[in-house]
Amino acid sequence: MKAQSYRMQMTGSRIRGGYRAVLVLALNILTLCFLSSTSAAEGRAPGWFRRHFGDVRWEEAVQNSRSPKDVCGFTADRLRYSAESGDVWSDPAEIWNRRSGDCEDYAAVVMDMCREAGFEAWVEVYFPRGRGEGHAVAVGPLPEGRYWVSSFGKYETVSSREEISRLMAGILWCDAGDLWSARMSYESVHGKIARQQQARLSRMAAAASSPF
């Protein structure tokens, strides 16, 4: 009986210890949430917790980006990869709000945010010859003929255009000589987005007016 009583006491002690640990964890999370909301209200730069678990507004990310690398960091923290079927381009503000996208979504967000923050950037798309699958990245200039490249929010620097091609060939599992690429400006990207949105609206209108 004494052994059974001892085991029951130990079990109860462990349960109480578990409850205390959960309570401490919950209090810590609430404290972090409070501090994050306070920093947002006071206009301070968003901290690690809010960047990963909170809601950083687009304007905040732009205001607190001192370089294209900062823009890429905010984008990588905000978005999660989500595969799409077909060549679908979405408005960067919409992508930011839904917090997910594929390669061209990441690239468009980085390009637009860089533009608002005062940094030059554009989108480049790469395709292996004979294959329908490609990859989109954001690219911008650096001093001395160098470039920065952002794939899915990651920030990398390269020394030449040839190095960008080699980087893309590694991602697409092909030889650099088998790639073809196209550079898309802000106007090109948003023109494509507008055309696709118009096409979707036209299809929806046609479906709504159909008697069947």
Residue 10 has pLDDT above 90, yes or no: no
131 or 171: whose pLDDT is higher?
171
- Provide mean pLDDT across the span 184-209: 92
3-class DSSP string for the chain: CHHHHHHHHHHHHHHHHHHHHHHHHHHHHHHHHHHHHHHHHCCCCCCHHHHHHCCCCHHHHHHCCCCHHHHHHHHHHHCEECCCCCCCCCCHHHHHHHCEECHHHHHHHHHHHHHHHCCCCEEEEEEECCCCCCEEEEEEEEHHHEEEEEECCEEEEECCHHHHHHHHHHHHCCCHHHEEEEEECHHHHHHHHHHHHHHHHHHHHHHHHCCC
- What pLDDT, on the 0 to 100 scale, is given for residue 212? 61
CATH architecture for the domain at 56-209: Roll (3.10)
pLDDT tens digit sequence for 22-52: 565 555 554 444 444 444 444 567 887 887 7
pLDDT tens digit sequence for 53-107: 789 999 999 999 999 999 999 999 999 999 887 789 999 999 999 999 999 999 9
